Amino acid sequence: MADLFIKNGIVLTLNETREILDDGGVVITDREIEAVGPTDQLEAEYDADQTIDASGHAVLPGFIDAHVHVSDILVRGTGTSRELYDWIQNVKRPAVNEMTDEDHEIAAALFSQEAIQSGITTFVENASGAADGYPESVIERKFAAYEAAGMRNVYAYAFADTEPDPEHATFMEHFRRKEPEVTHVSPSETLTDTDEILADIESLIQTYHGSAAGRQSVWPAPYWTEIVTPEALLGAYELAEKYDVMTTTHTAESVDDEARRSQSSIEYLDNVGYLGERTLLGHCVVLSERDIRKLALTDTKIANNLKTNLALGDGIAPVPQLINYGVTVAVATDNTTANNAANMLSNMAFADLVQKGLHQDATIMTAEKVIEMATIDAARAIGREDDLGSIEPGKLADLVMIDLDYPHLTPNLHTPSTIVYQTQGFEVDTVICNGEIILEDRTVHGIDEEYPELRSDAATAAEAISERAGLTSIQQRPWQSRYK
């Protein structure tokens, strides 16, 4: 007896041949997909405890968000129209540095609810405080929220173990002076010892990796190429190998970063020995052709944080060129304060349309490719292509159902195009993760039960954080029709 039978859906399998079943079914037993095929055939072969009629719905693999910052969600909308380091120095770091353990849990619950409602079943959280990782008390609270939500999370423990070079420090100081009322955090206040932090992360992997019925993972995540030592980068890669996980860092995000360097970030990481199949690099906006070749050669993966890169004026990663070289690229929502949403479907549309406009070439991306970048390619990008990213027997049962019965989705003549160009995000009505229904009728029951006053709690927490971090004047800025 199977646990769950989803029938009559348009099933986008994302299997090897990218098969789409027009009247398809999926049989789920325990945590896994047991069978996929035409509804009538499966109906004759299987009995299930529960059946979901997916008529009028597209059924896809759960979306995988390859790069996220969760806690920042409580100050989103603050400091818009600021460039990267202005935003980091004057909004992000001051805010997260003032958050209590409870604030982090509220942020995690809010993020989970929003992310699941847009079809995200797995996310990689680049978990960084001011520059160091959060204490274990914060991790426990966040994991409790993710467990309540029922989604799959990778906790990429971020840290810094060296100061930025003096030129960069001057650059950051320049931005801090702009906002004297903000409670700033100097990067040197949050440095960690290389050996200690790697030992701490190893112990976290031993404690949490595979917890919550296998849904939770831990990775080592040197925060950003500029503020981690070669020893930390190598140590992180070695830990990833030892525990069969991945490692991730922020790389080549802005022209300013790259212009200052005597060698490109990619060349540097290559020389250090950090590039490789277990490395997922966030951003990679500023790349040379040579950098792209090195990424391809080493099978290094990329998280494309396009909406955040656009919002901060960083630029547009050369995704079509990366794909042409065979580099695996995943769509990611990145920072909830810069993006400012965890809406996967919106990010998928941007990932396609922005490249077409930039290159003045409508053939350069396709709806099918961006769906791959949110599912099977993203699974590969996080080292989970064997058990996530497609609807195939033996894979973990992570599925999204999109209701197509809306005026703006009618007629549905080419399902991949309908999903990428016409949805707005709210059409996701059912989500299954690890074989469990975690979104039903747009409701994340696990979060509603554990956090019944979530939105008012989040609003109250946000106000207090802003007060403590000195962000109130930024939030109450006068109307700015243009930048001064």
Residues that bind Zn ion (CB under 5 A): 126, 282
Closest contact distance (angstroms) between CB of 107 and Zn ion is 15
Nearer to Zn ion, 5 or 123 (CB): 123
Tell me the angle at which helices 265-272 and 289-298 cross, rounded to the nearest 10 degrees. 30
Look at residues 146, 139, 138 and name the one whose alpha carbon lies nearest to residue 120: 146
Closest contact distance (angstroms) between CB of 337 and Zn ion is 11
Length of the chain: 484
- Alpha-carbon distances, residue 77 vs 74, 290, 341 (angstroms): 9, 37, 10
Nearer to Zn ion, 303 or 400 (CB): 303
Closest contact distance (angstroms) between CB of 282 and Zn ion is 5
| CA 440 from centre of chain | 22
Nearer to Zn ion, 94 or 282 (CB): 282
Q: Closest residue to Zn ion, Cβ-based?
A: 126
* Residue listed under structure tokens 């702009």: 178
The answer to whether 372 touches 379, Cβ cutoff 8 Å, is no
What span, in angstroms and rounded, lies between the C-alpha atoms of 56 and 113? 24
Nearer to Zn ion, 282 or 416 (CB): 282
- In sequence order, the 6+-apart residues with CB closer than 8 A to the CB of 356 are 362, 364, 365
Q: Is 360 exposed, middle or buried (0-12, 13-18, 19+ CB in 10 A)?
A: exposed
- Alpha-carbon distances, residue 181 vs 184, 386, 464 (angstroms): 9, 50, 15
Tokens of 201: 């992360």
Closest contact distance (angstroms) between CB of 335 and Zn ion is 6
Closest contact distance (angstroms) between CB of 69 and Zn ion is 5
What span, in angstroms and rounded, lies between the C-alpha atoms of 264 and 244? 28
Nearer to Zn ion, 251 or 390 (CB): 251
Nearer to Zn ion, 57 or 76 (CB): 76
Closest contact distance (angstroms) between CB of 70 and Zn ion is 11
* Residue listed under structure tokens 């540097």: 268
- Alpha-carbon distances, residue 82 vs 132, 175, 313, 452 (angstroms): 23, 10, 8, 34
The answer to whether 20 touches 7, Cβ cutoff 8 Å, is no
Nearer to Zn ion, 126 or 225 (CB): 126
What span, in angstroms and rounded, lies between the C-alpha atoms of 149 and 32? 19
Helix, strand, or coil here: 306? helix
- In sequence order, the 6+-apart residues with CB closer than 8 A to the CB of 190 are 129, 130, 131, 132, 160
Nearer to Zn ion, 126 or 355 (CB): 126
The answer to whether 220 touches 274, Cβ cutoff 8 Å, is no
Closest contact distance (angstroms) between CB of 339 and Zn ion is 10
What span, in angstroms and rounded, lies between the C-alpha atoms of 206 and 52? 37
Closest contact distance (angstroms) between CB of 424 and Zn ion is 25
Nearer to Zn ion, 8 or 249 (CB): 249
Nearer to Zn ion, 187 or 282 (CB): 282
Closest contact distance (angstroms) between CB of 128 and Zn ion is 8
Closest contact distance (angstroms) between CB of 300 and Zn ion is 16
